Amino acid sequence: MTDEQIIGMYYDRREEAIKETETRYGKYCLRVADAILKNREDAEECVNDTWLRAWNAIPPAYPKCLRMFLARITRNLSFNRYQLKHTAKRGGGEIEAVLEELEECVADSADIEGQIMAKELGQSITHFVYGLSEREGNVFVRRYFFMEGVAEIAKKYGLKENHVSVILSRTRKALKEHLKKEGYVCE
Amino acid sequence: MSVNREELYRAIGELDEALLERSERASSGKKGLRRLLLAVACMGLLIMGVRETIDRLDLFRMGCSTIAGTLVDGVYYYREGHNGLWQYTPEDGSRKIIREWDMDGWQVNTYGVYYSQGRSLYVREHESGKKRCLFKTGFWESSFINFSLQEDGNVVVSVHNTRKKTIYQVLLDGVTGAVLEQVTDVLPYPGYEGLLYSEAHFQVGDRQITLVPMEGKNDCDVMENGVSLLKEGESVNYWMGTYYGDNLFLRFRDEENPMFVHYLVLRPDGNDSELVSIGGIPLTGTNDYLFSSLDPRVYGGDTEPKEPDRAFQGDMEAEEPGKVSDEEAEKPGKVSESDEEAEEPGKVSEDDAEPEGQDRVSQSGTESGEEDREDGDEIESVGYAYDTVWCMEIATGEYWQLEIEMGDLTDNSAGRKVLAYDMETDGELLFTCAPWRSEQMCWQIIYDEAGRPKALRLVSGDIRKE
């Protein structure tokens, strides 16, 4: 069954759509969630929530790529759960490492003057990533969207780990400049 | 305002799906390898394409000598070095290019122009002017093909495979390209035993002639309907079958001097004969006459043939008018001595004994020409100069020099001189050329009252400049 057929079932409000989605993308979404939460049970719950979110979002949404659409939902749900569980203290794992790295791009402490619309910022970052070379953009996405480790990224793209680290470091600096220029980060 | 790291992380979650998908697809190691392979493949294709293009453009091919073309239905087809295949219509002097690209081989018959390139055979129909592929072999099946047109319009294609070192032949319908039969099984190549179909089968009118190897394929018997056409002890070469007009000339195996070519002449009407062509292999011919550019008397006097009786026609009756007697025939290179013939222009006779100029040979009228050679070196040079045209009557074996009429044409870029290293004729026109020059000269054959060629009159010094 193709993505178009599955989306068609969502539009027809047929519940088989969720089963087909789970069959096709269950393992993939579980991997995305597990990368953030590092906990099988939490990850499975997030994935189950993903199907419900997708059911509610489609229609009116019509994903260009259903897998990425689901990955985004899973990622957000997983991060919400992560924050819920780690409000008191920071934990270890990949998510903490990623957050620490991203901290380089923003202020040392939270200094929110207004409500930031994640979507608006997301569009700005999308614009930023499109401005990178394809390889730099891909490395950035694999690290900060999919939470993949440096070794995994290096293997995926046939690069040395050190090279991946250099790319990420250079990209973070560039992102910081971009965010400053866009007014998301104070000087 | 300033975002914190959690908000930034969440915002990254809003990245464009196309970016996410791109990162999924990309796998640099494999992709890099794929790109490398793709680049290598593209480079290979590019190199092959450039090579093929250069090859077909015929720009850098060495040894591109000029040879005479083919006359079919009054139209002359010829290959112009580095400039494609052309057709020339003498009637109106028009010229048309048939194919700009170079080709491996080409032949013409009344249906069309056939040419091969690589592993494909094409035909360009005369009537429609359309080109189509007649036959093609796969890359692994063959390395290249060549072909020969048959008298009945069919085509024998030789399929060579240099990797496997094999050859086989198929017979095609010359119009549809349908494979009628595999006429030669797959044989090891080179060094195969026996003869290929194209080497062994000839058609003379309605007659089917077959060569059958005797002791090794260099000695073949000539069979028709299961009956040998040769006498006891005779054999022919398998690779020397040549058509002049409608007649098939098979070369006997017995000659030692290459300037005496002893032929068995097979005619459509069955009136076969033998003939010794003095001065080597004729360059062109019709049903009744052969044309050569070497002075037969030089060679005729130089070396005695192995069997003098066959100097003109093996079993000919000397009593017949115009024919040479047995006694006269003992020495090759003899000329007609009848008074009537001697008076005809271009004929060699006793009355025409003195040289008329630098371009004319010494015509002492001696039977052997030995005296001519003793008189000076001039004859030797004439013998190799290719600037005269000689005609031999197939029926009698008599030969004579044709007069050259340059007329008042001033455009003769060949220097107002015949350069007949190669020739082609249909009996009305005769084309001449020299391998190191590009001119194709056109001549009209002038006949005497008895209907025998006596002169060549220049029609065009170079048909390419028409």
pLDDT tens by residue, B48-107: 888 766 666 655 555 566 789 999 999 999 988 777 899 999 988 899 998 887 788 899
Residues of chain A with pLDDT under 50: 88, 108-115
* For residue B325, pLDDT beyond 70: no
- Confidence bin at B443 (pLDDT 50/70/90): very high
Confidence at residue B170, expressed as pLDDT on a 0 to 100 scale: 95
- For residue B15, give the nearest of A111, A116, A129 by CB distance: A129
Of the candidate ranges B92-106, B110-124, B206-220, B313-327, the one whose mean pLDDT is the lowest: B313-327
- Confidence bin at B301 (pLDDT 50/70/90): low
Report which of B311, B297, B455 is spatially closest to residue B379, judged by C-alpha positions. B297
Confidence at residue B61, expressed as pLDDT on a 0 to 100 scale: 54
**What are φ and ψ of residue B427, in 5° steps?**
100, -20
Cβ of A144 and B17 within 8 Å?
no
Which tops the pLDDT comparison, B291 or B327?
A: B291
Which tops the pLDDT comparison, B308 or A142?
A: A142
Report which of B318, B225, B314 is spatially closest to residue B275, judged by C-alpha positions. B314
Confidence at residue B398, expressed as pLDDT on a 0 to 100 scale: 87
Looking at residue A111, the DSSP 8-state letter turns out to be: B
Mutate to test the interface with A, among B6, B19, B22 (most CBs of A within 10 A): B19
| Residue B161 exposure: Cα atoms within 13 Å on the Cβ side | 16
Confidence at residue B167, expressed as pLDDT on a 0 to 100 scale: 92
The strand pair at B403-405 and B399-401 is best described as unpaired
Confidence at residue B247, expressed as pLDDT on a 0 to 100 scale: 94
Confidence at residue B55, expressed as pLDDT on a 0 to 100 scale: 63
The domain made up of A3-85 has a fold known as Rna Polymerase Sigma Factor; Chain: A (1.10.1740)
Q: Which residue of B has its CA nearest to A101?
A: B5
The domain made up of A93-182 has a fold known as Butyryl-CoA Dehydrogenase, subunit A; domain 3 (1.20.140)
Neighbours of A132 (CB within 10 A): 19
Looking at chain B, the whole-number percentage of residues with pLDDT higher than 90 is 35
Contacts of B7 in chain A (CB under 8 A): 112, 116, 118, 121
CA distance linking residue A74 with residue B136, whole number of Å = 59
Cβ of B1 and A111 within 8 Å?
yes
Pick the most confident of B277-286, B296-305, B360-369.
B277-286
Residue-wise pLDDT for B11-51, tens only, equals 888 888 888 888 887 665 556 677 888 999 999 999 888 87
Q: What strands lie across the sheet with B429-433, from one edge to the other?
A: B403-405, B453-460, B441-447, B429-433, B422-425
CA distance linking residue B330 with residue B328, whole number of Å = 5
| Residue B36 exposure: Cα atoms within 13 Å on the Cβ side | 6
User: A66-85 and A3-11 helices cross at what angle (nearest 10)?
Assistant: 70
Confidence at residue A187, expressed as pLDDT on a 0 to 100 scale: 62
Cβ of B23 and A184 within 8 Å?
no
Cβ of A121 and B4 within 8 Å?
no
**What are φ and ψ of residue B338, in 5° steps?**
-65, 145
| Whole-complex ipTM | 0.78
- For residue B29, give the nearest of A71, A123, A157 by CB distance: A157
Which tops the pLDDT comparison, B156 or B409?
A: B156
Cβ of B11 and A156 within 8 Å?
no
* For residue B322, pLDDT beyond 90: no
With b meaning 16 or more CB within 10 Å and e meaning fewer, what string describes B12-38?
Answer: bbbbbbebbbbbbebbbeeeeeeeeee
Q: How deeply is B41 buried, as exposed, middle or buried, from its count of CB atoms within 10 A (0-12, 13-18, 19+)?
A: exposed
Neighbours of B92 (CB within 10 A): 8
Q: For B299-322, what is the mean pLDDT?
A: 38
* For residue B311, pLDDT beyond 70: no
Write the CA distances from A157 to A130, A153, A154, A164, B292, integer angstroms.
18, 6, 5, 9, 76
Write out the residues of chain B at the interface with chain A, using a CB-CB cutoff of 8 A. 1-24, 26-30, 32
* For residue B314, pLDDT beyond 60: no
| Cβ–Cβ < 8 Å for A115, B2 | no
Contacts of B47 (CB under 8 A, 6+ apart): none
Contacts of A159 (CB under 8 A, 6+ apart): A139, A153, A167, B28
How far B37 CA lies from chain A's nearest CA (Å)? 16
| Cβ–Cβ < 8 Å for B323, B316 | yes
Q: How deeply is B307 buried, as exposed, middle or buried, from its count of CB atoms within 10 A (0-12, 13-18, 19+)?
A: middle
Cβ of B1 and A65 within 8 Å?
no
**What are φ and ψ of residue B265, in 5° steps?**
-105, 115
Mutate to test the interface with B, among A90, A138, A148, A179 (most CBs of B within 10 A): A138
Locate the domains of chain A by residue range: 3-85, 93-182
Contacts of A110 in chain B (CB under 8 A): 2, 4
Mutate to test the interface with B, among A123, A156, A160, A178 (most CBs of B within 10 A): A156
Confidence at residue B141, expressed as pLDDT on a 0 to 100 scale: 86
- For residue A144, give the nearest of B12, B17, B32 by CB distance: B12
Confidence at residue A91, expressed as pLDDT on a 0 to 100 scale: 55
Q: Which residue of B has its CA nearest to A100?
A: B5
Which tops the pLDDT comparison, B371 or A123?
A: A123
| Cβ–Cβ < 8 Å for B116, B124 | no
- For residue B16, give the nearest of A67, A126, A183 by CB distance: A126
Contacts of B13 in chain A (CB under 8 A): 72, 75-76, 79, 118, 122, 145
Looking at chain B, the whole-number percentage of residues with pLDDT higher than 70 is 71
End-to-end CA distance of chain A: 51
Confidence at residue B362, expressed as pLDDT on a 0 to 100 scale: 31
Residue-wise pLDDT for B207-228, tens only, equals 999 999 887 667 889 999 999 9
* For residue B148, pLDDT beyond 50: yes
With b meaning 16 or more CB within 10 Å and e meaning fewer, what string describes A58-84?
Answer: beeeebeebbbbbbbbbbbbbbebbee
Q: Which helix (H) or strand (E) holds A170?
A: helix A161-182
- Confidence bin at B298 (pLDDT 50/70/90): low
Cβ of B17 and A64 within 8 Å?
yes
For all residues of chain B together, what is the average pLDDT? 76
Which tops the pLDDT comparison, B305 or A43?
A: A43
Looking at residue A88, the DSSP 8-state letter turns out to be: S
- Confidence bin at B364 (pLDDT 50/70/90): very low
Cβ of A72 and B14 within 8 Å?
yes
How far B29 CA lies from chain A's nearest CA (Å)? 4
Locate the domains of chain B by residue range: 103-192
Would you give the distance in Å from CA B137 to the centre of its chain?
25
